Amino acid sequence: MTQDRNFNRLLQARWDQNKFLCVGLDTDLGEIARMKIPGMPSDDVLAQMSYFNQHAVMATSRAAAAYKLNFAFYLGEWPDGLQALYETVRFIQKHAPEVPIILDTKWNDIGNTNKGYVKYAFDILGVDALTLNAYMGEESLLPFLRYPDKGFFILCKTSNPGSAEFQDLELKDGTTLYQRVAKNVSAVWENQELGNLGLVVGATYPEELKIVRRIAPGLPILLPGVGSQAGDLAQAVRNGQNKRGSGFLVNSSRGILYPKVPEGRSIEQSVGFAADDLSRQISKSFRA
């Protein structure tokens, strides 16, 4: 496992370079097969996933502020998928060591169970950050939060259409559940010396994002929902940025990994172009 990696320092260094794109490595073998990639190994899940991810990393490392690997895509191809996840993390650490790695798990359970999650994520994989949910309260998050060099993005207002079922429930004080989550993460749970907590807010809910940013002015915000979920990028950037014009990550997975490939352009070139193009759109959104 690579040592001396601090999520906050890695992320801040990317922000200082005006990089705000989080590349989602949601590696889908069905999509990969559709693309008919030259040189792709056949009938070998581990080789296919590793080959695809390595080329995607090489194509996007210039534009990426972070990589986010959704655990489900790798678990679903067990056992080879989990080995591919491990190899992908190692590849990023070697070939793009300046880019932090987020494992998208949305884990949360009682303390003893969380010890297993912590061991896998940090001691075995060596990722820099996790997505977590707060449904069981701060107590259940403590085994994670004791890792000062890691980052943690807590689900707040998620991008899916059904998020309102619970997250928009009105509380006795007139606020909503997602607003309470934002308040607790920012004002109660956040250790100001560590500064390693953030929030997940869908770009599909720009007004709610504005409210969350007002409640949690200093927290990093991970913004899924741009691209295939039709989140408004310009609004997400305007409403998600902090007073320093930073503090957010725009996540894109399918829109970058599986682009249309024009005649005469390689898959790797097309993936890199898609990442660079979205990165430019994010920059333009500051002025929109």
Please identify every residue annotated as catalytic.
106
Here the tokens at position 86 are: 């491990």
Which residue, among 123, 130, 120, has the nearest Cα to 150 in the 3D structure?
A: 130
Here the tokens at position 61 are: 């490392």
Which residue, among 275, 206, 208, has the nearest Cα to 20 in the 3D structure?
A: 275
